[in-house]
Structure 1
């Protein structure tokens, strides 16, 4: 590795910069996908558990873009020790952020589970009162092909289900084929019987898994970059001054006296 970093230092830095930009673009894509997914369902649960990590990804992608430019600049100005140190410090900060985020995501995964279930339970009880909640519930049930929190019978326990005209029925968004008043038919073939909680939690868990995997994979790439930068800095420090004096062209060696009289 030392030979690679010393002999092809510029090439290594350029390749790292390209890898950083590639990961930054991937993080932006993943973030946009997350916001697009949770946007219509933001009234269902505390979306901070996804928007928080997504926001961190945006910050990291910006830092990675900057680090990529510094890497390119460092490869052009190979003798600049200051640029190498700046590149190393920024990489180290990003690696620490990624490791911290991955650890927090793993530690607090049970809280995410509880928050989603609690949020959905509160939202289903507000279905008849708030238009935003109603739109979110209908969108989720139509998109995820589910009904209720744990199953379709949850609706009969809600304030919406207690209204006389809603007795023994579910919202039309629970229907496999959406038509007006289709929720009055609770036959197995007509509505979705599975609840939305498990499906939503599985989706959120999958997004978090992608975030953690991306952070770990990229941290490994960055560690390689840190090692290469360290080797190059150490090589510059050792090779900064030569213990030998270079003779000029005009310098001529003194004749060697062999002890004979002139």
Structure 2
């Protein structure tokens, strides 16, 4: 069964993305849609469920195999429901993205006038350096307090595109990655359910059923 491997991989990759992502702090409305959170939670659940299936197969226990099948089926339904809700939520990304970016930039710009740095200011520096963008729509959003992160290593090009379009594309890629991950997980879960049914029938026909 591949569920333990996929569960552990999803958990580990989710933790890695959560530790290396600064986008959610600037866009609180969309932080719950981050694929890192989904991979983290799904990875934990899949690892626990697959351990139950492994134990059921090892002990050839009817009860554990049936429980494994039911939990996999429920998990698959939850994933499909979440994917459907994400598709409905996708149309609202633009409004949330613009509003949150504008609010966080306003909060960052005021301390910058006094020479103070906040968490939002540091996150904006990371985002602007990583995505090679400046401001929400362009550098004029910063007015007279354009940060150094809007400049490249060799020159200060204030004509860089705004971070709104860059982050919008990034979130769209997250949605595509989430959709692909859901499809792969559902296929693996269907295979796991088929395996549990096959093993259950084999145990029933052979008359073998061991208790824990």
Question: Counterpart in 1 of 2:183?
Answer: 216
Return closer, same or farther for 1:69/1:209 CA change in 2, 3 Å cut-off.
same
Confirm whether residue 29 of structure 1 aligns to residue 12 of structure 2. Answer: yes
Q: TM-score, normalised by structure 1?
A: 0.67
Question: Counterpart in 2 of 1:173?
Answer: 149
Q: Tell me, in whole angstroms, the C-alpha distance in 1 between the residues paired with 2:12 and 2:54.
A: 23
- Can you list the C-alpha shifts for 1:171-217, whole angstroms capped at 9, x where unaligned? 222111378xx6xxxxxxx3342111111122222223222211211
Question: Counterpart in 1 of 2:57?
Answer: 75
Which structure features the higher share of helix residues? 2
Pairwise CA distance, 1:152: 2.3
The equivalences for 1:189-204 within 5 A come to 190-204=157-171
Superposition CA RMSD, Å: 2.5
What is the total number of aligned residue pairs between the two structures? 200
Q: TM-score, normalised by structure 2?
A: 0.81
For the 8 Å contact 2:11–2:40, the answer to whether it is kept is yes
Q: Which runs of 5+ in 1 are unaligned?
A: 1-15, 156-160, 183-189, 241-262
Confirm whether residue 91 of structure 1 aligns to residue 48 of structure 2. Answer: no
Pairwise CA distance, 1:125: 2.1
Q: Tell me, in whole angstroms, the C-alpha distance in 2 between the residues paired with 1:230 and 1:119.
A: 48
Following TM superposition, the consecutive aligned residue runs of length 4 or more in structure 1 with deviations greater than 6 angstroms are none
Return closer, same or farther for 1:117/1:204 CA change in 2, 3 Å cut-off.
same
Question: Counterpart in 2 of 1:107?
Answer: 88
